[in-house]
Amino acid sequence: MRSIFGIFLIYLVCFEPLKANPYLEPYFGHDLNGEAVSKRSTGEVYHWEFEGTHLGVKTGYSFWNSLIVGLEFEVSRFGFRGLSHDAAFTNERMHGSIWGLFLMYRFPDWVKIYTSFLFYSHFKYDEGESDNDKLIGDGYTFGIGLAKIPHLDINIEYRQHTLAKYFNADTEMTNPLFHPYNVSQFLITLSMPIQF
């Protein structure tokens, strides 16, 4: 999927630049449902739920007034609690950020669909001894939006992360996690698309 997405971007940049218009879409969102699961080799499953807020922006180019490609950046802050009896870090707060490449199609009437490849996402604890350490990974999103109101879209989005690396601030080293965290989210967002 990544290679197809890359080839398509190259085609647009090389062969369609004169038909492109700059595009900007800031957004604000909240988790409807979020959970993280980590499975151990012993068969134990650690399970957390969380909710939080998201503030981000998509920026790129619009082709033929309907197809949009570009870069996405977001910061988030959320709290979470352990659901399994032995889940660590219960009732904690974290913050994080993501970088991604997005592809969107806006239908002529009032619907849009989009997807993003999140090539970098990281999460950090707000405080404590490990507040400078990071969980790092990547992921993807799928979303649909209602665009009936001018310059205001209401979006529902599914997001999946796999956090498979750990950055230790003391040693300044990034190592793979033996037990990655699989994070899934359903979000509702409000966005303000601007096409120049």
Q: What is the pLDDT of residues 109-156, one digit of tens each?
A: 789 999 999 999 988 877 654 567 888 999 999 999 998 888 899 999
- Considering only residues 175 and 141, tell me which one the structure prediction assigns the higher pLDDT: 141
Domains (range + CATH), the chain: 17-195 (2.40.160.20)
Q: Residue 23: name the closest of 63, 56, 60, 57 by CA.
A: 60
CB-count exposure of residue 59 (10 Å: 0-12, 13-18, 19+):
middle
Confidence of residue 8 (pLDDT cuts 50, 70, 90): low
Confidence (pTM)? 0.84
Mean pLDDT for the chain overall: 84
Q: Are strands 173-191 and 194-195 parallel, antiparallel or unpaired?
A: unpaired
Residue 130 confidence (pLDDT): 56
Residue 85 clears pLDDT 60, i.e. is over it: no
| Tens digit of each residue's pLDDT (9 = 90 or more) over 64-81 | 878 999 999 999 998 877
pLDDT score of 99 more than 90: yes
- On the 0-12 / 13-18 / 19+ scale of CB atoms within 10 A, 11 is exposed
Do 27 and 58 touch, CB atoms closer than 8 A? Answer: yes
- 172 or 142, greater pLDDT: 142
Picking from 69, 70, 78, the residue whose alpha carbon sits closest to that of residue 97 is 78
Mean pLDDT of 46-57: 89
